[in-house]
Amino acid sequence: MKMFFYRGRRPNFGDELNVWLWPRLLPGFFDDDERQLFIGIGSTLFDFFPPDSCKIVFGAGYGGYTAVPAIDERWRFYFVRGRFTAAALGLDGGLGVGDAAIMVRSCVPRPARKIHRISFMPHWQSAADGHWAEASRAAGLHYIDPCDSVENVLTQIQESEVLVSEAMHGAIVADALRVPWTAVRPIQAPNRAKWHDWASALDLALRWTHVSPSSALELGLSLTGRRKRWADRLRARGQRLQAIAPGAFKELASRSLARAASQEPSLSSDAAIDRAHTRMLEALEKLKTDFARRLSVKGRPG
């Protein structure tokens, strides 16, 4: 069975969690056999998977990046990210258990010593398109690079008293590890709907806060909506656009970050996060049972 996950222009925390998490929870489970695909963390329920492969869905979500996949007998669902994904795919709403990144609770010791009063973590695309490290420092916030290693990001989230996050998996992991978080409305429209999907599984009502684009490139991207072709054209001129009035954009972004940091943070209830985690652990045991023969064969000495 092959682990499937998204990797964009740069590796990023949310998607790279797959590489970090699943070998810890399912040692010896994966290989490169594409006849069976394991689809875990991410908005990765796409419409382009090979029709003959068996798709094992374990917590993934539908993000609207492609058309809705045609579900047939070659899809096997243990749970999905939230109620919106379940509805989009025509599944029982009870399968909308939560984002699989919540399972970091099984692998990360808690609590950690708090070093940073408030940290900011942008979406990985914003980190590439803007000037968020500088804007964070100017606002007095600790900056977490979403493209840093999973271990480093996990440590910095735990060391924060509050996380202000445009990166959805920053908020998901903070919530799972009981670090209060503030949701920054993603600058790029395609990255917004999936937040509501995750929140629905935990009975959370999202309270967005807004930040100003930290570069002319980000300003342009904020106006493209879901028109990918326009976004691609802007990125082709990325360096030139980022060089336009950088000081002014950083100043506006810094002020908006300071305002975001002053908002009351969110946290799901202990009952909701425990319920989601317990159901995921139950699904994990069912997965192990369903594939017990495979695991026993792979575990034998050669």
The pLDDT assigned to 231 comes to: 75
Q: Are residues 257 and 278 in the same domain?
A: no
Q: Are residues 13 and 119 in the same domain?
A: no
Domain count across the chain: 2
Domain membership flag for residue 277: yes
Q: Are residues 184 and 292 in the same domain?
A: no
Q: Are residues 94 and 25 in the same domain?
A: yes
Q: Are residues 94 and 116 in the same domain?
A: no
Q: Are residues 198 and 135 in the same domain?
A: yes
The H or E element that residue 58 is part of is strand 54-58
Q: Any idea what DSSP says for residue 226? A: T
SS3 call for 75: strand
Q: Are residues 212 and 148 in the same domain?
A: yes
The H or E element that residue 134 is part of is helix 132-139
> Could you report the per-residue pLDDT of 21-63, keeping only the tens digit for each?
999 999 999 999 999 999 999 999 999 999 999 999 999 999 9
Domain membership flag for residue 180: yes
Q: Are residues 92 and 63 in the same domain?
A: yes
The pLDDT assigned to 294 comes to: 56
Domain membership flag for residue 131: yes
Domain membership flag for residue 266: no
Q: Are residues 163 and 82 in the same domain?
A: no
Domain membership flag for residue 88: yes
The pLDDT assigned to 302 comes to: 34
* Cβ neighbours of 83 (radius 10 Å): 20
Domain membership flag for residue 34: yes
Q: Are 59 and 41 in contact (CB under 8 A)?
A: yes
DSSP result, 151-209:
HHHHHHHHTEEEEEESSHHHHHHHHHTT--EEEBPPSSGGGTHHHHHHHHHTT-----B
Local confidence band at 293 (pLDDT 50, 70, 90 cut-offs): low
> Dihedrals φ, ψ of 208, to 5°?
-70, 145
* Cβ neighbours of 19 (radius 10 Å): 15
- Would you say residue 300 has pLDDT above 60? no
| CATH number of the domain to which 230 belongs | 3.40.50
Domain region containing 279: 2-105+273-299
Q: Are 119 and 137 in contact (CB under 8 A)?
A: no
Tell how strand 160-165 and strand 116-121 pair up.
parallel
- Would you say residue 5 has pLDDT above 80? yes
Q: Are residues 101 and 116 in the same domain?
A: no
The H or E element that residue 85 is part of is helix 83-88
> Could you report the per-residue pLDDT of 154-191, keeping only the tens digit for each?
999 999 999 999 999 999 999 999 999 999 999 988 89
Domain membership flag for residue 267: no
> Could you report the per-residue pLDDT of 62-94, keeping only the tens digit for each?
999 999 999 999 999 999 999 999 999 999 999
> Could you report the per-residue pLDDT of 104-158, keeping only the tens digit for each?
999 998 777 999 999 999 999 999 999 999 999 999 999 999 999 999 999 999 9
288 beta partners: none
The pLDDT assigned to 39 comes to: 98
The pLDDT assigned to 234 comes to: 80
Q: Are residues 118 and 81 in the same domain?
A: no
> Could you report the per-residue pLDDT of 185-233, keeping only the tens digit for each?
999 888 999 999 999 999 999 999 999 999 989 888 888 866 777 677 8
Domain membership flag for residue 59: yes
Return the HEC string of 233-250: HHHHCHHHHHCCCHHHHH
Q: Are residues 93 and 159 in the same domain?
A: no
